[in-house]
Structure 1
Amino acid sequence: MYHDIFKKARLTRAVGFVVESLKELWDTFLMLFIVVDSIGNIPIFYSLTSGMGREERIKIFEKSVAVASALLVFFAVFGYPFFQYYGVSFTDFKIAGGLLLLIIALQGVFGRVEAEALRSEDLAVVPMATPLLAGPGAIYMVMYLNSVYGLLPTLVSIALNTLASYLILTKSNVLLEKAGKNTILVLSRIFSLLLAVLAVSLIRSGIYEALRG
């Protein structure tokens, strides 16, 4: 009897651990997905690669996703320790990051700078990998996620977002044909609004912690 009770308790703890881990992975994936905004970047990426063939465009997309992923992994691992070395507290980090995300969100809600002004010799790296995919907001977010959820969920989130970005961008021609450019822009505005809500939450939490301290 006691053996059965012990087995049930252990099974309950294991199920609870799995559910909690899945929730953490979902939370980290969703927050980073909103900031990266691969869907909203589709019209910009297509504008930047106008005149290229489909195979060349896909190669550019692949390189930009790979470079962005490498940047996010680097800052997830080494970014926040760098700030800690210079005495920046997590509360300072949260308030500053929240303000940064709010500015980025407002730019997304009210419209971005035209992509043609961002042309460079290597489009896959600048501006496509950074700042469009792995911009200041995404870099802040991976450092924040590492601080709150730990390195492993953050790295898994980066990997899942890398896969999602790759699939979204390489299949973006289908999305544009089926949904249309206006629908993509509307979705981008919705993601920007969600990002603004998240940013305000971070600022409010940071200010509360600073006042309490």
Structure 2
Amino acid sequence: MNSIWLNKDDLKEIVTVTFTLFAVIDILGSLPVIIGIKKKMGDINALLATAVSGGLMLAFFLIGEQMLQFMGLDIKSFAIAGSIVIFILGLEMVLGLDIFKHDENAKTSTLVPVAFPLIAGSGTLTTVMSLKAAYESYNILIAILINLIIVFITLRSVNFLERMLGPSGIAVIRKFFGVILLAIAVKIFRSNLGVMHV
């Protein structure tokens, strides 16, 4: 029974990689940020955000290390830069600051910071690259596609989720996930700076 398509090992790999990417992307945890961006900058184009973040994941999956090397960068520097943007977003959420300036162009806010670094952030992109060492390429691509579908559905449902949670629910979740976002940013920063090892 040499099935080429979706044998037991493939299914196991797809499930593992899908859940790994889902945890790293954390689209549900990013909901308060996305709702806040939508209020400040207008509706987010779900299809564009999904397509751009999917394109970034695919690009990094195929030629990530070569791209960074070509620009004279390394993965650690890229991850630290992404962590700083995530940290600023977390500060906005916890302290009620307005660091990201209002932009009348909704397309701009869809690309930054929604597509990058919220969806396809440094953690996601470096995870995609590192998964190649342990799993079959086609299983990783299937897992990426599954996660992009989840991202698209979530972004399309932002208005519904906002109504369901209400202002007080959003405020509580926003502050809670702001702290989580700060912690994730610090973790990415520390692990890539390489100076905190004892």
Distance of aligned partners of 1:201 and 1:115 in 2 relative to their CA distance in 1, 3 Å threshold: closer
TM-score calculated relative to the size of structure 1: 0.63
Q: Determine which of 131, 142, 145 is the counterpart of 2:112.
A: 131
Distance in 1, matches of 2:28 and 2:154, equals 15
Q: Determine which of 162, 175, 192 is the counterpart of 1:189.
A: 175
Q: Determine which of 133, 144, 151 is the counterpart of 2:126.
A: 144
Distance of aligned partners of 1:171 and 1:144 in 2 relative to their CA distance in 1, 3 Å threshold: same
Structure with the greater alpha carbon radius of gyration: 1
Which residue identity does 2:103 align to in structure 1? Answer: L
Decide which structure has greater helix share: 1
1:31 aligns with 2:24: yes
Distance in 2, matches of 1:209 and 1:20, equals 34
Give CA-to-partner distance per residue, 1:42-78, whole Å, 9 cap, x none: 35325644xxxxxxx79x4434433443344334544
Q: How does 1:69-80 map to 2 (within 5 A)?
A: 69-80=54-65
Which residue identity does 2:51 align to in structure 1? Answer: A
Q: Determine which of 82, 94, 103 is the counterpart of 1:118.
A: 103
Counterpart in the other structure of 1:9: none
Give CA-to-partner distance per residue, 1:139-192, whole Å, 9 cap, x none: 423321123222666645543343223222333333233220332243233333
1:106 aligns with 2:99: no
Q: How does 1:49-64 map to 2 (within 5 A)?
A: 49=42, 60-64=45-49
Counterpart in the other structure of 2:190: 204
Which residue identity does 2:92 align to in structure 1? Answer: Q
Which residue identity does 2:69 align to in structure 1? Answer: Q
Distance of aligned partners of 1:94 and 1:45 in 2 relative to their CA distance in 1, 3 Å threshold: closer
Distance in 2, matches of 1:195 and 1:188, equals 10
Q: Verify the 8 A CA contact 2:18 2:144 in the aligned structure 1.
A: no
Which residue identity does 1:180 align to in structure 2? Answer: G
Distance of aligned partners of 1:185 and 1:27 in 2 relative to their CA distance in 1, 3 Å threshold: farther
Give CA-to-partner distance per residue, 1:77-118, whole Å, 9 cap, x none: 444321123554444444444444333433333335388821
Distance in 2, matches of 1:204 and 1:46, equals 32
Distance in 1, matches of 2:141 and 2:75, equals 20
TM-score calculated relative to the size of structure 2: 0.66
- Following TM superposition, by how much is the alpha carbon of 1:21 offset from its aligned partner in structure 2, in angstroms? 5.5
Q: Determine which of 144, 154, 168 is the counterpart of 1:168.
A: 154
Equivalenced residues, count: 186
Structure 1 residue runs of 5 or longer lacking an equivalent are 1-13, 50-56
Which residue identity does 2:170 align to in structure 1? Answer: I
